[in-house]
């Protein structure tokens, strides 16, 4: 680890340490923390009220996203929007959002890998052929009759 010491008993964290340790907060993490306006940060009570409001709004959005998961709607997008709202005030949410962005980017890179794309195209083609054969057999045997209208034979 690359740690230096400005004063006895106090270690400083360098960029190399953050990269090696993941995205844990350290002294050199720029951009982490509250994004509240300066006049709100001046007053402890006002800042705490601001944080409570941000937490409540973010919680409402996340709960709405969770409700949308089994229902029609962009559930995951809304959940990530709620996390982004929380990330404007809370370091833990910023770290979770960073981790999520990194994992989504890695998944996108894996999906764009030529071997994975070829495999996915082959699997999709095979699935479409199987579905086409099953639909053809159904149409040959029953015609354009809906399944619930077919009499037992």
Same domain, 107 and 118: no
One-character DSSP codes across 57-122: HHHHHHHHHHHHTTSSS-HHHHHHHHHHHHHTT-HHHHHHHHHHHHHHHHHHHHHTSHHHHHHHHH
* 52 assigned to some structural domain: yes
pLDDT, tens digit, for every residue of 96-131?
889 988 998 998 888 788 888 888 899 999 999 999
Domain count of the fold of the chain: 2
Same domain, 87 and 143: no
Same domain, 70 and 138: no
pLDDT, tens digit, for every residue of 54-111?
899 999 999 999 999 998 888 889 998 999 999 888 888 889 889 988 998 998 888 7
pTM of the model: 0.51
Same domain, 63 and 134: no
Which residues span the domain enclosing 132? Answer: 114-149
């Amino acid at each position: 680890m690359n740690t230096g010491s400005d004063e006895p008993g106090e270690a400083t964290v360098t960029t190399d340490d953050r990269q090696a340790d993941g995205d844990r907060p350290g002294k050199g993490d720029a951009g982490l923390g509250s994004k509240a306006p300066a006049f709100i940060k001046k007053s402890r009570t006002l800042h705490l009220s601001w944080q409570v409001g941000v937490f409540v709004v973010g919680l409402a959005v996340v709960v709405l996203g969770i409700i949308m998961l089994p229902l029609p709607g962009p559930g995951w997008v809304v959940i990530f929007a709620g996390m982004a709202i929380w990330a404007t005030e809370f370091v833990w949410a910023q770290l979770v959002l960073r981790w999520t962005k990194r994992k989504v980017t890695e998944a996108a890179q894996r999906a764009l890998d030529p071997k994975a794309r070829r495999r996915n195209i082959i699997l999709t083609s095979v699935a479409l052929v199987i579905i086409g054969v099953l639909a053809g057999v159904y149409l040959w045997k029953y015609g354009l009759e809906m399944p619930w209208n077919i009499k037992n034979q």
